[in-house]
């Protein structure tokens, strides 16, 4: 069980880093205006959904025994 949580936190921090980079990444000048309003909310939404999936996989599904 300890290894399962360690794997969760490794993936959590990797996902947080990727979401942060996507949220603060500078965009080219030619980016449409509507995209500027959806960049951060979309990155946060995908991050939250991914963390939910990680929690469900970590808590409900035990690791397979070899």
Lookup result for tokens 């409900």: 60
How many angstroms separate the CA atoms of 29 and 6, rounded?
Answer: 41
pLDDT tens-digit map of 28-38: 888 888 888 88
Contacts (Cβ under 8 Å, ≥6 apart) of 40: 23
Contacts (Cβ under 8 Å, ≥6 apart) of 7: 58
* Structure confidence at residue 44 as a pLDDT band (50, 70, 90): very high
* Structure confidence at residue 46 as a pLDDT band (50, 70, 90): very high
Mean pLDDT computed over 53-63: 85
């Amino acid at each position: 069980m300890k290894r399962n949580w360690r794997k969760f936190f490794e993936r959590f921090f990797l996902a947080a880093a990727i979401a942060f980079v996507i949220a603060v990444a500078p965009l080219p000048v030619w980016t449409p205006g509507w995209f500027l309003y959806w960049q951060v909310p979309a990155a946060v939404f995908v991050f939250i959904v991914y963390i939910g999936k990680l929690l469900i996989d970590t808590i409900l599904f035990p690791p397979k025994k070899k």
